[in-house]
Structure 1
Amino acid sequence: MMKCFYHPAHRAMIQCSACGRPLCPRCDHRIKGFAYCQDCIVRGVELLRSAGRADPERSMGWRPSPVLAFLAALVPGLGAAYNRQHTKAFVYFIVIVGLWELAELTGLALLGGGGGVIYLYSIMDAVRTARAIRTGSDPTQEDLRLRRFLQDHVRTWAGLLIALGLIFLLTDVFQFFSTPLRLARLWPLLLIAGGVYLIVRQWRASQREEPSEPLSVDFRLVTPSLFSPPTGRLPGATDSGERDSPSDRPRGDKR
């Protein structure tokens, strides 16, 4: 049984048509008959507003140079920053430099090779993005999707950090008993602590979002949809087979 993304204590009845998040009746907002979560609605409104405003950089004819993007990408992450993709630049820098540092600490050539492959890809991606911007593409859209992906998978990154910390900690366990304890041997604990911190922060955020009302409340009736009546009919309308009782008719109204 799936739980609501925003209210884990409630059962999900439908999924968002854009991002696929499970939603309870309270979070089910309809637009032209399709269900959307609140974040997708807000993001859509922001995109419409940004599309309606004139972009000062485009009005001035800002067109990045693929050559400058290539030269900037020689520094890990700087090519993406040159193309106005700051989230991607941060991810490239952390992944590339992190893999190289781990390869140096552990002596595993595989990690260094993986960092080199991602480094070469970041250079080609910077050149490709610069050319796409010159043809009219918006670099911020890809950056927003990457940021959303990172936010939606916090628990995955936390588990990855904990797993890496445990692996590298176990590789030093034999040396831990044969040589005196040194603080340099405890660096994998930082990865484990980072993963635990992400999990705890995600858990606290979900606890704060839990509603206080009982589960038996019909949220669709208490909190109607933002864009259309949840029942799909006009206020005051009755079912086709129902008639007003004589007691409900106003005086003087004879049918």
Structure 2
Amino acid sequence: MRLRSKNALWQSQSPTHRFAQRRFDSADGLRGYRVFVAVPAGDRPVDGWPAISMLDGNAAFDDLRQADLDLVPGYALIGIGYETEGRHDVNARAQDYTPPVSPDAAPPSDSASEKEGGGDVFLALLAERVLPELTKEFSLDPARRMLWGHSYGGLFVLNALFKQPDLFRSYCAVSPSLWWHAPLTLHMEGASRRRAAGQSDLLLLYEVTEDPRGDERRRARMVQGRAMLKDMLERLAARPDIALTQRAYPGENHGSMFQVGLKAALTHKIPN
């Protein structure tokens, strides 16, 4: 397991942002969330700071550099992570970021955790506790916030868009794990709710790998994920309630898309 950097920016000082941390408990009380916050140092706008909420917050804040904060001088950044010494809590994220499935559904053969499908419970925690408390304490603008996630986190972003389209103004899904219990996400999209007014701003980013490597199972998963992505993009592009921006990144791989997608989110303006 790769440990968090001891020289991460959030452990020092920044000329553009001030750092803070907060702690929240899961709904079942069995694990804790470590939330990193970077708030602009200047005077806040009348409506509060627009904010980008990033899943896998430990890794996201470890990767932040001052050059990244310079891209968002007027934005607050929120890293929703776990109380772990590593960049990722594999079991916790597998439980929190994946959507619910039927009780008799078999887990994927290469599942990262025995406990999965807790996405709706985690979404409720964000909507009912984490976001309201952070919004009040750090003067955030509830009308201008983005949710960002990579891999399983990208899957969660789409689940949030389909279940609570008004919770965020923008949704950024990076290399979402659409292969997970496919075609579940297509069913979710078909039954999804619409935004109360206007359009949901969706940024969907994905890698283009010419030669899938790994064992036969992983190659099959990649092929399935590509087919799912094609169908999903066609559906989303046809929806009048979603403003879709899609970007393909030739030469990148699933892992490298974490930093690529993070940089893309920091340069994407949340609409008014």
Max Rg structure: 1
* TM bin (shorter chain): under 0.3
Which one has the bigger strand percentage? Answer: 2
TM norm structure 2:
0.21
Which one has the bigger helix percentage? Answer: 1
TM norm structure 1:
0.22
